[in-house]
Amino acid sequence: MKILLLEDEAMLRSSVREFLEAKKCEVVDFYDGAEALESFRNGSFDALVVDINVPTLNGYELLEEVRKKDKNLPVIFITAMTDIDDITKAYNLGCSDYLKKPFKLEELWLRVGQIFKLMDGKNSNILLITQKYRYDKKHKVLYYENQEQPLSKKHLHIIDMLASNTNFTYDFDAFRRRVWERDDIDDATIRTEINRLRKLLKEEIIINIKGLGYKLDKKS
C-alpha cells in the first residue's frame, strides 16, 4: 500500500512514517501542502494521511484538489482542530475519516483498515476473501491486513483465476489453459505449484475439492 503523508510536525511525521513502513507500506511524506499536491498529481497512491494546518496549501485546499481528480481515494485527516465546524467542513469536502491529535499510531492503522473494508463492499474490483485477505482484481494484487503480499507472477495468475468465480471449482485443464497456457503441463506440476502457494498464504483460502480441483474459500 502506498500512502502520501502530509504533516508539518517533524517528530510526528517521522513517527507515523516509520510506523506505516513497519506495516509494509510505502510512505511518501511531506512538510508542505503544495509539494504534496504536486506529488499526488504526478503519482499514484492508495490513501492520504493529511494534517490541516500545514504551510503553503492547507489540508482543506489539498483535499479539494484531490477530489477533482479522485472522488473515492481514502483521505484521513490528522489534526489538533477539534471544533465541530472544522470537522463538518472536512467531511463536507470529502474526507474519509478525521483523527484528533494526540492519537495512538495503532488507532490510525485501524482507521485505514476500516476504510478499506468499507470500500471493499462498494468496489466490484475488490474481492474480500476473508476478514484479512482481499484481492484487487484490477491491479492483480493480493493484500493481507492491508499489506501487499509479495507473490510470484505465476501465483498471482492462480489467485486471479480462482477469484474470477469463487463459486466454481477449477480442474487441472483450467489451470493448463488459463495459468500455464500450455497443454503439456502434467497434473503433478500444477499440484506442486498450488501447494507452494498455499504454504505461503497465512490462511487457508485455497481448498482442494477431492477429485474435482481447487477453489477459493471465500469466508467474508
For 147-185, the pLDDT digits (tens) are 889 999 999 999 999 998 888 999 999 999 999 999 999
Architecture in CATH of 126-216: Orthogonal Bundle (1.10)
Per-residue pLDDT at 44 exceeds 90: no
Look up residue 73 and give its DSSP letter: -
For residue 124, what pLDDT is reported? 60
Domain ranges of the chain: 2-122, 126-216
Q: Return the higher-pLDDT residue of 213 and 115.
A: 213
Per-residue pLDDT at 13 exceeds 60: yes
Q: Classify domain 2-122 by CATH number.
A: 3.40.50.2300
For residue 121, what pLDDT is reported? 53
For 70-96, the pLDDT digits (tens) are 887 889 999 999 899 999 999 999 998
Segment 131-158 mean pLDDT: 89
Per-residue pLDDT at 142 exceeds 80: yes
User: Which distant-in-sequence residues (6+ apart) come within 8 Å of 48 by Cβ?
Assistant: 3, 4, 5, 6, 40, 62, 66, 73, 74, 75, 76
Confidence grade of residue 62 (pLDDT, cut at 50, 70, 90): very high
Find out whether 153 and 114 touch, Cβ atoms under 8 Å. no
Query: Among positive and negative, which fits the CA dihedral 97, 103, 105, 107?
Result: negative
Confidence grade of residue 24 (pLDDT, cut at 50, 70, 90): confident
Supply the pTM of this predicted model. Answer: 0.58
Q: What percent of the chain has pLDDT over 70?
A: 95
Grid coordinates of 150: 509479495
For residue 173, what pLDDT is reported? 94
For residue 220, what pLDDT is reported? 63
| Beta strand segments in the chain, E | 2-6, 26-30, 47-50, 75-79, 97-100, 126-128, 133-136, 141-144, 147-148, 206-209, 213-216
Confidence grade of residue 139 (pLDDT, cut at 50, 70, 90): confident
Confidence grade of residue 60 (pLDDT, cut at 50, 70, 90): very high
Per-residue pLDDT at 52 exceeds 90: yes
Per-residue pLDDT at 137 exceeds 80: yes
How much is the mean pLDDT over the chain? 90
Give the SS3 label for residue 40: helix
Distance CA(80)–CA(101), nearest Å, equals 5
